[in-house]
Structure 1
Amino acid sequence: MLGLSALELARLQFAFTVSFHIIFPAITIGLASYLTVLEALWLIRRNPVYVELYHFWSKIFAVNFGMGVVSGLVMAYEFGTNWSAFSQFAGSITGPLLTYEVLTAFFLEAGFLGVMLFGWNKVGPGLHMFATAMVALGTLISTTWILASNSWMQTPQGFEVVNGRVVPTDWLAVIFNPSFPFRLAHMTLAAYLSTALFVAAAAAWHLLRGRSTPAIRKMFSMALWMLLFVAPVQMFVGDAHGLNTLEHQPAKIAAIEGHWQNDPNATSLPLIAFGIPDMKAEETKYAIEIPFLGSLILTHTLHGKIPGLKEFAPQDRPNSTIIFFTFRIMVGLGLAMLLLGVWGAYQRWRGKLYETRLFLLFALCMGPAGLIAVLAGWITTEVGRQPWVVYGILRTQDAVSNHSVLTLSVTLVMFIVMYFLIFGTGIGFMLKMVAHGPDEGRGSMSPPDGGQVHRPARPFSAVPDTINPAPLRETSEI
């Protein structure tokens, strides 16, 4: 297929499935915490707007949660089908870590999800709040175990290799490996930012159409507060993560920066703002450099330097052409998020937060920015780890299963068709729900139809059977 080898097809297949999957947990993590905040605010203030928003976003959470679970199961099977050599080599560590996720996070979420989605008027407000909080906690615990497993593959420790297999010797060292705290914080904040941008874009969509209800205004305001405070924290965490990566994976940082070698006559390292890294020519063409900024960002000094890619053997170098650009996409979108938060604070100060059309259009366009940044960040992380699947221990070419090009080509095409069909339909349905907006008059603990409480059998029963577009109407300022 397209002249690709079996190894390249296996990598492409896993990259496709993980890229589709990761957008759902990112929104699930953020929405679960958002729903917890909404219900807590309702219990404290008894403002019916918070209940309206809770009912609205819980339906979207249910759809997103279901798609996340299904897409994640496929990846688990791929470890055995496409990467059996990796599973045989490192399964004694990655297997238990993923099992811990199921025993803690998944069971916790599954145990309380039904109460959260269908428990209104069946349990008391306090117990329902507890159920929502447990679901949110479950998403965070799940993130912890997944990031512990993936971080160990980036910075492995707490093990020894016996008879060609990894044997854990210190589980605390395995879990709390050097990159784990930074990557956990970075991914969790990325999920919160992605959700805030999603919520802000949903509100901006309705505000641009003249639907300025209290619920719409409230969710827009809350999302912008989140962006204003979390975006700067994410930049601080990202900087700390970069310093950690420089210490443990210097080749990845060199590839990200498009940095091939140090000039012996230079006293500092410039930042290459733009260029085109050429892996064959071993240079970054058309480089636009900013003096001293590379040293300042990468080493926090004016004269610090980092190893160049030429200091590593050619077979040990990550593909700089790819991660040079994905990293800059992630950083650029992060700066745009900060701009949106600061602009929102300015609009709030002017009393024009819900009225300025240009600002609302910017918020709407930024809706997918968080998820794009997450994808760009994961590509940077995973491609930057190459050619290792377990950094410095197991090469990717030694981890793949023995499949033919034909087999992997056929399954890849099947994945692409089925994913776009199934998850494309789910995403489309979720966006229709967003376009419909919160139902007014839901500011109570009553069931949606105001009548008998039904007992749905499936999580997707938490969403309505049909979605009718919300009527466009002008409302007075509130």
Structure 2
Amino acid sequence: MDSSDALTLARLQFAFTVSAHIIFPAFSIGLASFLAVLNGLWLATARAVFLDLFNYWKKIFAVVFGMGVVSGIVMSYQFGTNWSVFSDKVGPVIGPLMGYEVLSAFFLEAGFLGVMLFGRERVGPKLHLLATLMVALGTFMSAFWILAVNSWMQTPAGYAMNDVGQFVVTDWWAVIFNPSLPYRLVHMVLAAYLTTAFVVGAVGALHLLRNRTHAAARVMFSMAMWMAAIVAPVQIMAGDFHGLNTLEHQPAKVAAMEGHFETHAGVPLVLFGIPNAAAGRIDYRVAIPNLGSLILTHEWDGVVRGLNEWPADQRPPVGIVFWSFRVMVGIGFAMLGLGVWSLWMRYRRKLYDAPWLYRAAILMGPSGFAAVLAGWMVTEVGRQPYTVYGLLTTADSASPIAAAAVASSLIAFIVVYFALFGSGTFYILRLMNQPVHGHETGLPPEQPIRAGGIMPGPVMAATHVLPATEQGASS
């Protein structure tokens, strides 16, 4: 095996480990905010159903957080093993940003995690809510700093080159708030919220199929469907703005996403097809005339650059980018469709009597993870052949390491990851399969089922829904 084999294996290893890692932060960012909302609703309403849901989902959050930390630490070691040249050249820029992520985000998140998980009776409900909010803030700040690093690699700014070929900072503000950060941050955080919403909705739907009067299941399903109906269209709009920003700074990536090889006005929107990079065309394509130009340039006859304007060795792999983009967009519109369906059932007062909606929600449960992975592939594969876009190639970033060493570590990662994270995922699914055990197990027989809102029934008195220990804590 030669150096090119080592480069390919190093890329595969990083792709595998980051794919295994990204699903956990995507879930924990949204789940931490969901826990904060549940905690706040319990304090505001004194309804035990919100506390029951908090206690139910905090166990899942703890497992997800642990797996995210482990996978993140392992991934970061590759900067020193497989990508030492990259680390040397960009270390003065991204090193401090990674340090800020640990100091301002991870320490904040981990520091309050124990209080959130075990400290309600020790610190009281209000301070416990503050701890939960700090954990949620920590997850957001972690996403901010990591995306600042990755966005700088996509749209570098605020830098200069020193005498030994390293990137050095000339303007920290420009480095952190580089041209693509706002769009990527909004897009990723909304993706995390949607990912969590569809997992929560799937769990609620599963338990509603078993018992449609279960109060906790109805609350979590209703809250999840509100999130889907509200956030999915916002995410589609955010994705459009992100696409326009990408067109400005990374036009080759957009050309690969859209499947355009030739530059011309009034390009069509290619819905489906088979990319043929060798021939420079999309075979068997299904397209809508001029719609591509309208979306990308907001003009019916706008000119869009094609991949043929770049040398062959400066083009991203078309097939992966083309199909990953369609998977991401397709899932996004499926999310929107489920949200609209839930609004229609809510309007008809049948949200809690909709078995086919529940089955669709269960099917869509893992959709957020698939969309996040597809979006990551578009982002990272689409910037090839560069690690720092237009400035540092992937081939020039790799360590001078033997291919056999990379192959052995890749095999070890695959075995350990599937064993460790497979077990963790199985345990999470077992927790989700269990119903929420609480005090509002159903509606009083004399009360009709209410299909609207997140409340499954009239607000019950605190003395009816709180156990003795929680009544004492809240008094």
TM-score (norm 1): 0.91
Q: Is 1:84 the counterpart of 2:102 in the alignment?
A: no
Alignment check: 8 A CA contact 2:155 2:249 kept = yes
Alignment check: 8 A CA contact 2:212 2:218 kept = no
Q: Residues 336 and 446 (structure 1 numbering): CA distance in 2 closer, same or farther, change over 3 Å? A: farther
Name the residue aligned to 2:327.
329
Q: Residues 446 and 302 (structure 1 numbering): CA distance in 2 closer, same or farther, change over 3 Å? A: farther
Name the residue aligned to 2:276.
278
Provide the rounded CA distance (Å) in 2 between the counterparts of 1:152 and 1:447.
50
Name the residue aligned to 1:260.
261
Name the residue aligned to 1:404.
402
Name the residue aligned to 1:12.
12
Q: Is 1:390 the counterpart of 2:388 in the alignment?
A: yes
Q: Is 1:354 the counterpart of 2:356 in the alignment?
A: no
Name the residue aligned to 2:168.
167
Name the residue aligned to 2:298.
300
The amino acid across from 1:362 in the alignment is: A
Name the residue aligned to 1:459.
none
Provide the rounded CA distance (Å) in 1 between the counterparts of 2:389 and 2:323.
22
Deviates most, 404-413 or 163-172:
404-413
Q: Residues 203-222 of structure 1: matches in 2 within 5 Å?
A: 203-210=204-211, 212-222=213-223
Count of residues in Structure 1 that have an aligned counterpart in Structure 2: 446
Task: For residue 446 of structure 1, report the CA deviation from its aligned partner.
Answer: 6.8
Alignment check: 8 A CA contact 2:46 2:466 kept = no
Task: For residue 2 of structure 1, report the CA deviation from its aligned partner.
Answer: 13
The amino acid across from 1:272 in the alignment is: V
Report sequence identity in percent: 56
Name the residue aligned to 2:420.
422
Q: Is 1:37 the counterpart of 2:37 in the alignment?
A: yes
Provide the rounded CA distance (Å) in 1 between the counterparts of 2:211 and 2:32.
28
Q: Please give the root-mean-square deviation of Cα atoms over the aligned residues, in Å.
A: 1.7
TM-score (norm 2): 0.92
Name the residue aligned to 2:361.
363
Alignment check: 8 A CA contact 1:354 1:360 kept = no
Provide the rounded CA distance (Å) in 1 between the counterparts of 2:281 and 2:291.
19
The amino acid across from 2:146 in the alignment is: I
Task: For residue 437 of structure 1, report the CA deviation from its aligned partner.
Answer: 2.3
Name the residue aligned to 2:238.
237
Task: For residue 211 of structure 1, report the CA deviation from its aligned partner.
Answer: 5.3
Provide the rounded CA distance (Å) in 2 between the counterparts of 1:376 and 1:275.
17
Provide the rounded CA distance (Å) in 1 between the counterparts of 2:189 and 2:2.
37
The amino acid across from 2:359 in the alignment is: L
Q: Residues 21-32 of structure 1: matches in 2 within 5 Å?
A: 21-32=21-32
The amino acid across from 1:175 in the alignment is: I
Task: For residue 445 of structure 1, report the CA deviation from its aligned partner.
Answer: 7.2
- Aligned partner (choices 400, 411, 414) of residue 413 of structure 1: 411
Deviates most, 1-10 or 281-290:
1-10
Q: Is 1:441 the counterpart of 2:442 in the alignment?
A: no
Name the residue aligned to 1:248.
249
Q: Residues 445 and 37 (structure 1 numbering): CA distance in 2 closer, same or farther, change over 3 Å? A: farther
Task: Name stretches of at least 5 consecutive residues in structure 1 with no aligned partner.
Answer: 451-478
SS of residue in 1 equivalent to 2:120? coil
Provide the rounded CA distance (Å) in 2 between the counterparts of 1:4 and 1:54.
50
SS of residue in 2 equivalent to 1:33? helix
Task: For residue 383 of structure 1, report the CA deviation from its aligned partner.
Answer: 0.2
Alignment check: 8 A CA contact 1:120 1:445 kept = no
SS of residue in 1 equivalent to 2:168? strand
Deviations 1:36-90 (A, max 9, x none): 0011111111111100000000010000000000000011101111100000000
The amino acid across from 1:379 in the alignment is: M
Provide the rounded CA distance (Å) in 1 between the counterparts of 2:304 and 2:2.
37
Task: For residue 262 of structure 1, report the CA deviation from its aligned partner.
Answer: 2.7
Alignment check: 8 A CA contact 1:51 1:444 kept = no
Deviates most, 252-261 or 400-409:
400-409
Provide the rounded CA distance (Å) in 2 between the counterparts of 1:31 and 1:205.
18
SS of residue in 1 equivalent to 2:121? coil
Task: For residue 410 of structure 1, report the CA deviation from its aligned partner.
Answer: 1.3
The amino acid across from 2:329 in the alignment is: V
Task: For residue 212 of structure 1, report the CA deviation from its aligned partner.
Answer: 3.3
Name the residue aligned to 2:449.
none
Provide the rounded CA distance (Å) in 1 between the counterparts of 2:293 and 2:161.
37
Deviates most, 408-417 or 371-380:
408-417
Alignment check: 8 A CA contact 1:84 1:400 kept = yes
Deviations 1:392-414 (A, max 9, x none): 11000000111222111111111
The amino acid across from 1:38 in the alignment is: L
Name the residue aligned to 1:345.
343
Alignment check: 8 A CA contact 1:121 1:445 kept = no
SS of residue in 2 equivalent to 1:167? strand
Provide the rounded CA distance (Å) in 2 between the counterparts of 1:138 and 1:352.
38
Name the residue aligned to 1:123.
123
Task: For residue 210 of structure 1, report the CA deviation from its aligned partner.
Answer: 2.5
Provide the rounded CA distance (Å) in 2 between the counterparts of 1:444 and 1:422.
38
